[in-house]
Structure 1
Amino acid sequence: MLLTVIDLVVLLAFLAQFAIAGYFLYLVYWLFEQPAVEPPGRDLPADLPHVLVQIPVFNEPTVVERALVAAAALDWPRERLSIQLLDDSTDITSDIAGHVVRRLEREGVAVEHIRRSDRRGFKAGALAAGLARSEAPYVAVFDADFVPPPGWLRGAMAALLAEPKAAFVQTRIEWGNGARTWLTRAQRLMQDAHFAVEQDVRARRGVPFQFNGTGGIWRRAAVEEAGGWSHDTLSEDLDLVLRTSLAGWHGVFLMEPHVVGELPERLDSYSHQQSRWSKGFVQVARKLLGPIWNSEWSGEAKFTTTIALAQQLIFPVLVVGVVALVLSIIGHGHLVGFFRFLMWLWFVTLLAVLFGMTWGAYRRLRRGDLVQYLVTAASVPALIVYLAAANAGAIVAAGFGRKTEFKRTPKTGI
């Protein structure tokens, strides 16, 4: 009886992984079936609206000055641009920021240094607190390590203003340290697949896609209609996207213009970042899957969003599946023939997903030659196995409703 239960666990683990793989193969299919087209040129109106730039920071002394200077350099009329540094820091970041803010103010930049008495709500709480102090109809958000080029705001705002029911614009993220180490190269490859395949395809298919928490602009009316920023999950950006989508809004994704950010260079920092994101996805799934399935969304939108939220379960499922398979082999004294077939199918599916999702993005963004690609792609499965072992427990805990504190990813300013 116990061995039957173990075999059932193995089978369910395989099926769950195949379901998640199916989502990525769906993306690869539409990547080739529905080729990307260059968006038409969009003109800005003569009377430009007021835009608020929000930069939430917490103990980030190496990047805060660069973030403020980049925001002040955005190509937008000074009288229609204001900047908020949402500073919850407890170290020298605030002192550095204070000097920069005063310098920018002397240069005529409308910049406000906002300090809260506590970190209630973490990033979401800071964004909400800043929004309450402004009446700007459009709000650009940048994490402290992200640097937009001067023309970014004009390109992103033109796309947002062209679509009255667009809640937000998300632009692609480039990585300033993406080629620095094997770890950053592997992350960049996966992030390229996320933007150049997942985000782009989902946007073109007209199904909800992710706001990445930075490098984008929100329409204030959509944020307010959806109930504003909420801090009951660790993925406040994804939570807001889905709530605005349920209210009838949609997003716009742009490959260009892009912003430049920083990837974690230490394995433990990367693991903590991924753990936070994974737990956030699970929390959002607990909160919103019911309303999503009760909504009037298309079947495609419901299924793809459900699988996209559930993909973080690949980590605990992988761990449980491997343990159960080992126990099955011990119990039977051999690998069951059907499981051998499923393992080969799993391996072929893994290769199809890995190369289907990453090769097109690698070529599209001109990252390098075939040999460089193969070396980098070969490191991705090992990284996923590491994340599965490191984060499976935390993801399961989030599924059962356990709350954890928001932990920032350390920045170096490279």
Structure 2
Amino acid sequence: MKRALLTAALMIGASALAATPAAAAPAAPAHPDREVRFATYNLSLNRPTQGLLREQLANPDVDDVYRRQAHNVAEVIQRAHPDVVLINEFDYDPEAARLFADNFLAKSQNGAPAQRYPYRFVAPSNTGIASGFDLDNDGTVDTTPGDQPYGNDSFGFGVFPGQYGLVVYSKYPIDVRAARTFQLFKWKDMPGNAIPTDFYSADEQKVLRLSSKSHWDLPIELGRKTVHFLVSHPTPPTFDGPEDRNGRRNHDEIRFWADYIAPKKSGYIYDDKGRRGGLKPGQSFVIAGDENADPNDGDSYQNAIRQLTDNPLINAKSFPISAGAVEAAKLQGGANATHKGDPKFDTADFADTAPGNLHADYVLPRAGTKVVRSGVFWPVQADPLFRLTGVFGTEWSAVNGFPTSDHRLVWADLKF
């Protein structure tokens, strides 16, 4: 039943993408053989109640903090103008995804160039889906959407189904029929997994899903070349106890892609349609997302992100940087002063006491893919565009304490 519902949801998304006849389909950008800009952005466009995001995006001219944030994050995307972008923390709603593209991205924000994305992909998320178990071991199985205990007992934290979901927008065609989702993959089915077996009961271990949201493999058609856009948003390695259940899950959510790109390790993997295995040898890919893991600092379990950044199959020779991150670390101090990592790589503006600003968001292509240029959208305070990132709690603040998000857009121009 669950697989049938997921398949139906994907078919709805596919029909939306293919609604225009092929002869009238929008043309892809020219010269895909030169370079393509891939990006990831956790834009915090999640809302406290189900349906609220759609309502707000349908009425873009209303002046309130919610719409101002939506206009601001749209402007960030327009300023960065990626060809393919993963959006993290966008409540699951195919209609909301369309409204954001049409009412915000395709309309200039403060003179920024409008961005039109004729292709998009959405699919269900594990967030806010009741597990039927007491996953936080507080003595109660919470079945009432809308509160934190319910979120703690869901397959992925969310106070309603789909909160904190994902969307991908693309100027190039997405092969929806060949797309793979891994929402239902069981954590126990990963060999050598890091499940804290002394915390979760045997029955809970049987149903636990690995992905806190979902993992997607989206084939992007760049002319005659297909690039697999491998996207996810692992859970933060915090908000737990000494069992480190979230840290362990974050580690294995990241490990999933490390295994998926290695043909000799991916045999155990199955997608939501039952197809097994990962990428074939030599297939091009880009891994992207808010991985919630820093190579040097923070609360990661067993250096989780190094499963990707130290991976010989991945080009991680250099990371995108920004001057704004360096300035922020210096001005904010606190935990930032004790960090081992270079602040120029930071992509998230977190609490100064702990964990401080971190390198949490990544665009990682296959080894051999040339990174022509890259960057993090984090302006210094003297830059007029600083109004789009700001400082927590200032006059520019929106619904989450920032004018946009506590994360920054990360991009890379790649030549395949």
Give the shorter-chain TM-score range: under 0.3
Compare the two structures and name the one with the higher strand fraction.
2
Compare the two structures and name the one with the higher helix fraction.
1
Please report the TM-score for the alignment, with normalisation by the length of structure 2.
Answer: 0.26
